[in-house]
Structure formats: C-alpha cells, structure tokens
C-alpha cells in the first residue's frame, strides 16, 4: 500500500482507489498529489522544482521566496512561508521561527495507538512515519500516514518530541496540512446552532483563508470538525470530493487557504487559539488523528468511506454489531416534573408495547426540579425515589425492561454539595466573575482528583442499579479558562487537558462496564464528532426531534458520521421545538434511519398511535442491521424544498440503505410538502447491481425490475395527500 521510490525520494501511499504522494526535495517535505489512484511512478516533476525563480538550490535564489510558494507538507512559520503554519514553537528565549527538515522515514505494518486519545485501529494497517527536525532547537516531528487495506481513507497524525535540553513551548500542532493545486474548489461545511445542527453551507473558495473552528471546549453545535472541498459540478453521485475530519472532541480549527499561486492549503487540527503546551526536554506531545478521503464519485461515496472507516476501525463498543434495544426516554415526556409513580406508568405502558429499555433523563438526583441545582450530586432525590433508585431500577426490571440513566459528569451547579465543598474544582479565573450558563459551571476535568470524585459517585449508581445504558450529556461551553492546578505559563494547556480528562473518564466507563450502551450528547449534538465514537457508538444528534428538521440534521450528520451513530427518536406532535405536526409513521421512518427510540409520554398517545408502535418496533428490528451495516445513498436534498408548484419536483427527500452484499435494500421517501394536482415523481435509486432483478411492493402491487431500471428510470412515487407523508420500500434481490 505504501511505496518509497528511493532515487526520487518520493512516497506514494495507496488506498484501494486513491493515491497520496509526497517527496523530499532540497531537504524539505513537499506535497505532490492527492486524488484518484495512480500506478507507482515518479511524480516529482509535479513539484515544479525548475520553475523560476524560487527553488534555492536549482536557481540559486533566496530561500524566503521559495518558502512562500512551495507545496509544503507540514509548514512552519518565521522563515518565509507567510501562509498559515501547521506547526509553531516558542523557545525559552522567546523566538518563534522554525524550519523542519527531513531526517528519515520508516514504513511498517500496523499503526500508532494512543494511550490518552481516541484513535483508529485494525490489523490490516500500514504506516509511513516521516521524521522531521528543526536543527537549532532539536525539536523532532513525526508525521504518520496510515492506510487500511479495506478503506479509501488516509489517517494522519503528528507527534512532537523535544530532543533538546531546554523546555520549549508548542504554540500549534495541527494534525494535517497539505498544499494542493486547485483554484476552482468549493468548500462545504456543516454549520448550525442548538436544535439546528449540521446545516450545509457550500461556497466557492476565494483568495484568502476560509476557516471554521471551535473555541467552546467541545466540537460545538456551531461548526462540525469536518469539511469537504468539491468541484463546482460535484453532487451526491458524481464529481470530485475531498473530505477531512478530526478524531477529536475539543477546540478545533479547519481551514482552506487559496494562495497567490492558486494553490489550496488545507489544514485541520487542535485550534491554535487558546492553546500552548510546554514540552520539557525528552517529553512528547501527540496531536489527534485527522482523516482524509478522496472520492471521484461525489459526496455520497466520500461519506460512505468515512462511515466504513468509523464502523470498522473506530467504534469499539460491543454494541457496534448488535441490534440496540428500543428505548423510551422521559425527557420530552416529563422534563423535570416526575416522580416514581409517573415514570412507572410510562414504563408499564411502554413495556406492554414492546419497548425494551427505560431511560430516566435529567432530574433524578440531588434536589433537581429545574436546571438550577444539583449537578455534581449524583445521588438519588429521596423525594422522587423514597426507596432509593435501586428499588426503582428493580421495578423496571420486573417489567422486563432494561434501565438507563442520564448523567452530566463534567458539570457542577453552584447549588450543590460538591460545589460548596470544592469551589475551586470549577474552571475559573481568580478574581474574575465566573459566568453561569444554564445555571451551571464546568468542572476542571484536567484534574484527576475531580474525575475520581465523579467516577466514584457514578460507580455507586451504576452498580446499585445494574445500568444497561448511560446518556452522557454536556450542556454548556467553557468560559474563563483557568485551572487552580496549573502554573501561570501552562494555563493555555487547559482546553486540551480538559478533553483528555473527559476521554479518561469515558475510557474508565467503557472498559469497566463494556456492556453498557453509552450514548453521548451535548445539548443535543454539540459533541457530534469522530472522537466520541471511540467511546459511544451512538450520539444524540439534536434536541430537535421534528421529523421535517431531522431530514436536514440527519442529512448533514451523515456527511461524515455513520447513520448507525445518529441518535434519533420519535417524539410527540405538535413538536416541542417547532410546533409542527407530522404523521406518526413518518416520524418512525426518520428515526429508524438512525438509532430509533421513543421520547414521549406513551400513556398519552391515542389508541391508534399506540397500536402502531409494535409494528414500528418490528420494522426497526427487521431493518436495523441494514441501517447499521449497509451503504447509505442520500437521494434527495432536504435543503431545497419546493417554494412554488413549479418547483414541486424538489419538495421531497429520499435515501437508500443497500446491504454490503447487495442482497437487499431499504428505500425511504418523504414527500416534504404536498402539491395539489401533481403527477408522480421519478426517484432514481443508486448503489444497486444493474443486472440484478429486485422484487418489491409498491402501492399494494409486487414489482420486479432490474437495478439498471431502478437507477436510470427510477421508482415512481405518486403524489401523496398531505405534507411529510412517507413511504418505505424493501427491495430484495432475486
């Protein structure tokens, strides 16, 4: 998979369908090519080393000119490259220039694994590690490129070692940077807000820097740590698409910079703002992994490459390959207003209908009747559970259900025993007012004693209730960054140390109790990132459960994370976030395209709604393996609904899950807005075997058509009566 051409000093990294090439020239590591797979061959002429006037040794011109134009693989600042640097240091004397030279490389089977951070894994990996060095400071940088023989992705990571004698400050260590030739690219990013996560933006690159980032201490609602660069003509099924993401859950930075010579510098990594790291002599710093994908079959294939990688090489949970229990969560049913009796009524009714897991959300601990108290006090509220929470858990178990609980381990309320005992455990800057957000503060998870105290409380509850599921929430962003445990010159390490602390506690949780199904959440989907997948196989995608809005949120979410990770539930209508009413079965079809569950007071449903639940559950169980392991094809565009009757052909969304062996497929169609007197629509399928015949039922009739017919002529979806009507069709290869 990885070839080294010795004479050309060129590296060629091949995945099944793509090639990534770099070379050493004049002692510097340069980027040559990233795209469709090439035969192994000498590509160094693409470096333009003989073009005037900038190459130092060939044209004997000044180095500074060269630095500002050469296609750098891991650029530094202070010596002539005025574009964005990937790596920065500050010496004890206060100097910041740095120049990395190639030292050596090695190619080996396997890949680097990290002790403190999430990472990809697998036996079928090969890695190229290139060592670079800044001579005056003796700082050594190791760039790693890993490929798996079953995935069209390249994993990059960066490790820094201080081989010198004096401590040095790292001011930035991005995980990936590359300079590509291309001035026509468009940048696709996922932006949003609480309850409106992962909307799609797509704009042409202009000269200068286009950046998305987070300084919130988490990956955030506002931007996802993902972007794609695409050709103007790229769509779901065709065209070039480069995708980049980071296996990290904290402050990130992702940028594309179109330069004076119309090259594009692409970068992703830990946000260099609010970051620095003191590296003692002989110490090392590890940056998180970045994932790069190239597809020449559009955004759909790019996404499927990410999905497959994460499914096979990142998600560790035993639940990865299992049908997850159908759950009911009481948040939208009761909010904080419940007691044991009320919850048992819901659980009894839910158990009768076939729901398997009861999840008690926020409000079961301390004296929490609203969001203004008790975070940090993880013991049951005696008023709500007079006999303790284990007694309640026992009653749930008697109903034949499993039991799950909500925790928000990283937080503390000012009104809590924990805060009264340890006010310095909150992240804060002395003598500066500490900002409240959702009436709470953030615990300093960079401190082991803080994590230990929370862990001890969680373990008591987990063991006394025999928990099967945990929803790990995180409901506010970080402010007033300051840790009582760090000296002044290391305060800028806090944001990253905080994330490492979160990973440490999650690691303890998933390794001590591997059978627990962990669902990550952050005020909805503010931690919807690949880092979390290493611990939790599913992530609550949004507090917005409205089926119409979920079409967009889930379309955006699956740009880079697999559908099996998208936390999705059926809730009541009118929807609590939008006031919209959508059909019960459409809500089920949309939730079934993620993890599936209920988030409502099942005792208040109509008899008709209740009667539909067993069939919905059966359908979920039947198709869950297809959603989890199949290949997803997004067929519609929920971001462009019809505005007029003339545009009614756009007022729909559809997607398809195709089994990896091609034996079956599940098609879901949603007519977003009804139009009077419209003809049926042809929806072109994708991903089927052209020659194979598929049998399916449509409008009560059994049909048999070839894959070619279904992909070129389409399925005819007749005009349905009403907005948000849906159809699901199961296609079986004959």
Strand partners, 518: 470
Burial label, 59 (beta-carbon count in 10 A; 0-12, 13-18, 19+): middle
Spatial separation of the C-alpha atoms in residues 655 and 707, rounded to whole Å: 16
Exactly one of 253, 392, 403, 406 binds ligand GLA (CB under 6 A); that residue is 406
Q: Which is nearer to ligand GLA, 205 or 412 (CB)?
A: 412
* 543 is an interface residue for ligand GLA by CB under 6 A: yes
The least distance separating ligand GLA from the CB of residue 474, rounded to whole angstroms, comes to 9
Which of 304, 272, 224, 317 has the alpha carbon at shortest distance from 522? 224
Binding track, positions 152-171, relative to ligand GLA; x by CB under 6 A:
--------------------
* 563 is an interface residue for ligand GLA by CB under 6 A: no
The least distance separating ligand GLA from the CB of residue 419, rounded to whole angstroms, comes to 18
Spatial separation of the C-alpha atoms in residues 251 and 120, rounded to whole Å: 20
Exactly one of 75, 523, 630, 638 binds ligand GLA (CB under 6 A); that residue is 523
Spatial separation of the C-alpha atoms in residues 107 and 4, rounded to whole Å: 9
Q: Which is nearer to ligand GLA, 501 or 524 (CB)?
A: 524
320-359 positions binding ligand GLA, by CB under 6 A: 331
Interface region with ligand GLA, contact rule CB under 6 A, candidates 26-34, 424-432, 520-528, 724-732: 520-528
Q: Which is nearer to ligand GLA, 128 or 570 (CB)?
A: 570
* 362 is an interface residue for ligand GLA by CB under 6 A: yes
Strand partners, 704: 695
The least distance separating ligand GLA from the CB of residue 194, rounded to whole angstroms, comes to 8
The least distance separating ligand GLA from the CB of residue 198, rounded to whole angstroms, comes to 15
Instruction: Please confirm, yes or no, whether 371 is among the known catalytic residues.
Output: no
* 410 is an interface residue for ligand GLA by CB under 6 A: no
* 521 is an interface residue for ligand GLA by CB under 6 A: yes
Number of residues that bind ligand GLA (CB under 6 A): 11
Find out whether 204 and 186 touch, Cβ atoms under 8 Å.
yes
Which of 237, 222, 239 has the alpha carbon at shortest distance from 186? 239
Spatial separation of the C-alpha atoms in residues 201 and 193, rounded to whole Å: 13
Q: Which is nearer to ligand GLA, 189 or 520 (CB)?
A: 520
Output the CA–CA distances (angstroms, integers) from residue 730 to 410, 424, 676, 685, 698, in the order listed.
Answer: 43, 57, 28, 13, 9
Q: Which is nearer to ligand GLA, 162 or 477 (CB)?
A: 477
Q: Which is nearer to ligand GLA, 406 or 503 (CB)?
A: 406
Contacts 24+ apart (CB under 8 A), 453-459: 453/418, 453/422, 454/376, 454/378, 454/409, 454/505, 455/505, 455/508, 457/378, 457/379, 458/378, 458/407, 458/409, 458/509, 459/512
The least distance separating ligand GLA from the CB of residue 336, rounded to whole angstroms, comes to 8
* 528 is an interface residue for ligand GLA by CB under 6 A: no
Find out whether 454 and 379 touch, Cβ atoms under 8 Å.
no
The least distance separating ligand GLA from the CB of residue 591, rounded to whole angstroms, comes to 14
Q: Active-site residue among 179, 213, 311, 473?
A: 473
The least distance separating ligand GLA from the CB of residue 225, rounded to whole angstroms, comes to 19
* 361 is an interface residue for ligand GLA by CB under 6 A: yes
Tokens of 551: 């079409």
Q: Which is nearer to ligand GLA, 312 or 342 (CB)?
A: 342
182-201 positions binding ligand GLA, by CB under 6 A: none
Q: Which is nearer to ligand GLA, 246 or 521 (CB)?
A: 521
Interface region with ligand GLA, contact rule CB under 6 A, candidates 68-76, 102-110, 483-491, 517-525: 517-525
* 567 is an interface residue for ligand GLA by CB under 6 A: no
Q: Which is nearer to ligand GLA, 337 or 622 (CB)?
A: 337
Instruction: Please confirm, yes or no, whether 543 is among the known catalytic residues.
Output: yes
456-485 positions binding ligand GLA, by CB under 6 A: 473, 475
Tokens of 175: 């995980």
The least distance separating ligand GLA from the CB of residue 471, rounded to whole angstroms, comes to 6
Query: 313-339 as b/e, with b when 16 or more CB fall inside 10 Å?
Result: bbbbbebbeeebbbbbbbbbbbeeebe
Which of 194, 243, 244 has the alpha carbon at shortest distance from 220? 194
The least distance separating ligand GLA from the CB of residue 421, rounded to whole angstroms, comes to 23
Q: Which is nearer to ligand GLA, 406 or 445 (CB)?
A: 406
Residues 570/571/576/580 CA torsion (nearest 10 deg): 70
Interface region with ligand GLA, contact rule CB under 6 A, candidates 518-526, 556-564, 687-695, 702-710: 518-526
Strand ranges for 416-556 from DSSP E: 441-442, 469-472, 517-520, 538-540
State the DSSP H helix or E strand holding residue 158, giving kind and residue range, or none if neither.
Answer: strand 153-162
Burial label, 613 (beta-carbon count in 10 A; 0-12, 13-18, 19+): buried
Interface region with ligand GLA, contact rule CB under 6 A, candidates 23-31, 313-321, 521-529, 694-702: 521-529
Sign of CA dihedral 276, 278, 279, 284: negative
Find out whether 234 and 221 touch, Cβ atoms under 8 Å.
no
Spatial separation of the C-alpha atoms in residues 46 and 33, rounded to whole Å: 8
List of residues 6+ apart from 690 with CB closer than 8 A:
706, 707, 708, 711
How long is the chain? 734
DSSP conformation class of 551: H
Q: Which is nearer to ligand GLA, 195 or 589 (CB)?
A: 195
Q: Active-site residue among 543, 549, 585, 601?
A: 543
Sign of CA dihedral 83, 89, 91, 92: positive
* 519 is an interface residue for ligand GLA by CB under 6 A: no
* 524 is an interface residue for ligand GLA by CB under 6 A: yes
Interface region with ligand GLA, contact rule CB under 6 A, candidates 48-56, 383-391, 516-524, 641-649: 516-524
- Residue with nearest beta carbon to ligand GLA: 362
Give the active site residues. 473, 543
What are the residues binding ligand GLA (CB under 6 A)?
331, 361-362, 406, 473, 475, 521, 523-524, 540, 543
């Amino acid at each position: 998979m990885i070839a080294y051409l010795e004479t050309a000093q060129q590296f060629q990294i091949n995945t099944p369908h793509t090639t990534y090439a770099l070379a050493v020239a004049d002692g510097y590591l340069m980027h040559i090519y990233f795209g469709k797979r090439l035969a192994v061959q000498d590509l160094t002429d693409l470096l333009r080393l003989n073009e005037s006037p900038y190459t130092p040794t060939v044209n004997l011109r000044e180095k500074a000119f060269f630095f500002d134009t050469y296609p750098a693989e891991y650029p530094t600042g202070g010596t002539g490259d005025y574009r964005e640097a990937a790596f920065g240091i500050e010496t004890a004397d206060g100097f910041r220039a740095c120049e990395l030279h190639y030292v050596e490389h090695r190619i080996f089977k396997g890949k680097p694994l990290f002790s403190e951070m999430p990472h990809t894994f697998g036996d079928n990996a090969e890695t190229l590690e290139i060592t670079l060095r800044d001579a005056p400071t003796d700082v050594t940088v190791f760039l790693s490129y890993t490929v798996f023989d079953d995935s069209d992705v390249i994993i990059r990571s960066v490790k820094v070692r201080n081989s010198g004698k004096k401590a040095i400050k790292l001011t930035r260590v991005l995980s990936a940077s590359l300079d590509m030739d291309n001035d026509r690219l468009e940048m696709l990013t996922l932006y949003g807000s609480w309850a409106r996560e992962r909307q799609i933006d797509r704009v042409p690159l202009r000269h200068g820097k286009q950046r998305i980032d987070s300084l919130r201490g988490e990956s955030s609602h506002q931007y996802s740590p993902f972007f794609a660069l695409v050709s103007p003509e790229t769509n779901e099924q065709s065209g070039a698409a480069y995708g980049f993401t980071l296996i990290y859950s904290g402050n990130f930075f992702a940028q594309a910079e179109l330069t004076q010579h119309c090259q594009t510098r692409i970068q992703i990594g830990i946000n260099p703002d609010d970051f620095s790291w003191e590296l003692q002599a002989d110490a090392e710093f590890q940056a998180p992994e970045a994932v790069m994908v190239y597809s020449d079959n559009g955004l759909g294939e790019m996404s499927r490459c990410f999905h497959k990688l994460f499914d096979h090489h990142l998600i560790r949970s035993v639940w990865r390959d299992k049908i997850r229990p159908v759950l009911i969560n009481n948040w939208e049913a009761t909010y904080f207003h419940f007691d044991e009796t009320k919850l048992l009524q819901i659980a009894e009714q839910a158990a009768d209908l076939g729901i398997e897991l009861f999840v008690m959300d926020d409000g079961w601990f301390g004296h929490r009747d609203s969001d203004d108290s008790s975070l940090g006090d993880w013991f049951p509220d005696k008023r709500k559970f007079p006999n303790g929470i284990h007694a309640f858990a026992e009653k749930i178990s008697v109903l034949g259900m499993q039991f799950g609980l909500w925790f928000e381990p990283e937080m503390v309320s000012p009104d809590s025993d924990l805060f009264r005992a340890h006010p310095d455990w909150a992240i804060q800057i002395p003598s500066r007012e500490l900002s409240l957000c959702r009436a709470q503060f953030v615990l300093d998870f960079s401190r082991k004693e803080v994590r230990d105290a929370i862990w001890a409380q969680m373990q008591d509850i987990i063991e006394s209730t025999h928990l099967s599921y945990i929803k790990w929430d995180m409901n506010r962003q970080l402010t007033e960054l300051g840790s009582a445990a760090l000296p002044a010159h290391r305060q800028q390490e806090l944001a990253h140390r905080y994330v490492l602390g979160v990973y440490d506690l999650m690691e303890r949780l998933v390794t001590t109790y591997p059978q627990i199904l962990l669902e990550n959440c952050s005020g909805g989907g503010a931690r919807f990132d690949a880092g979390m997948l290493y611990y939790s196989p599913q992530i609550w995608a949004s507090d917005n459960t409205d089926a119409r809005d979920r079409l967009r949120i889930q379309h955006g979410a699956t740009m880079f994370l697999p559908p099996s990770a998208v936390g999705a539930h059926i809730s009541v209508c009118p929807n609590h976030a939008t006031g919209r009413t959508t059909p019960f079965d459409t809500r089920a079809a949309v939730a079934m395209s993620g993890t599936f569950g209920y988030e409502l007071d099942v005792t208040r449903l109509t008899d008709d709604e209740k009667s539909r639940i067993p069939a919905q559950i059966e359908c979920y169980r039947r198709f869950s393996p297809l959603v989890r392991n199949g290949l997803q094809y997004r067929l519609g565009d929920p971001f462009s609904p019809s505005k007029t009757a003339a545009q009614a052909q756009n007022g729909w969304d559809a997607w398809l899950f195709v089994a990896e062996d091609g034996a079956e497929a599940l098609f879901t169609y949603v007519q977003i807005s009804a139009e009077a007197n419209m003809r049926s629509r042809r929806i072109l399928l994708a991903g089927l075997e052209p020659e194979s015949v598929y049998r399916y039922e449509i409008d009560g009739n059994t049909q048999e058509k070839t894959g070619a017919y279904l992909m070129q002529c389409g399925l005819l979806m007749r005009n349905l009566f009403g907005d948000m009507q849906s159809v699901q069709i199961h296609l079986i290869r004959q």
